Amino acid sequence: MSPAPAEPITPRTVTVDCPTCGRKVAFEPASRWRPFCSARCKTVDLGAWAAERYRIAGDTPNDGADDWSEAGEAPARHRSPDA
């Protein structure tokens, strides 16, 4: 007795929520703007990144990366009057 022929595997369509508006979007190559539902939602999200609306909570350490000069010299440190 031979095994029964296997049924073809049907690919399952995965749907995700659009990050901007929440509309359901099929996450497949045919979805041009995935994971967004439209060019508008994609542009709105890009604008939010450009406006720095997405942030990670927490304190930013002062590592001195902003302390530089055009001449390549180290920034002058302030001394206390007691020194």
Domain boundaries, the chain: 15-50
Indicate if the pLDDT at residue 38 is higher than 90.
yes
pLDDT at 40: 97
pLDDT at 7: 78
Quick count: other Cβ atoms within 10 Å of Cβ 36? 22
* pLDDT greater at residue 42 or residue 81: 42
Query: What would the mean pLDDT of 21-49 be, rounded to a whole number?
Result: 94
**Beta strand extents in the chain (DSSP E only):** 15-17, 24-26
* Cβ-contact 21, 37 below 8 angstroms: yes
SS3 65: coil
User: Token pair for residue 21?
Assistant: 């508006």
Task: Among 3.40.50.10170, 3.30.50.10, 3.40.50.300, 3.30.360.10, name the CATH number for the domain at 15-50.
Answer: 3.30.50.10
* pLDDT greater at residue 56 or residue 20: 20
SS3 44: helix
Answering whether pTM is above 0.75, one says no
